[in-house]
Structure 1
């Protein structure tokens, strides 16, 4: 699950402590991604107009890969502004 934009350092530290000395590598890839927020009562229709993916059963707090235009992107249904997102 994604984290808040201001929590990257704290979350990285928390996960690092959990990894400990196991054979694992933790990498912050935040800079490799961008975020586009689509919110409001028409958000589903807007996304559906540019995607072949089905957004009708996309529950809050879920995340999945979807087609958007010519690209495959990760869509996460989460918003804290009181609207669909």
Structure 2
């Protein structure tokens, strides 16, 4: 979802979270993270706002997957390097 408060800056919202701001460049947009979950994208340039949204969704999905795997390992769901005889 994009909420354009002006013609030069857009607020990027993904999954109900404010991810950051997209500032207009001569050719494309620069992303400025306002949520620490999207810090890896901070300062990156994109051709379109849709590309920013897609990257933000991918970043959020990767964070969810990482969290899911870590909690699964902590609960004994995954046993790396262990072989049962």
User: Between Structure 1 and Structure 2, whose CA radius of gyration is higher?
Assistant: 2
Q: TM-score range by the shorter chain?
A: under 0.3
Q: Give the TM-score taking structure 1 as reference length.
A: 0.24
Which structure is higher in strand share? 2
Which structure is higher in helix share? 2
Q: Give the TM-score taking structure 2 as reference length.
A: 0.24
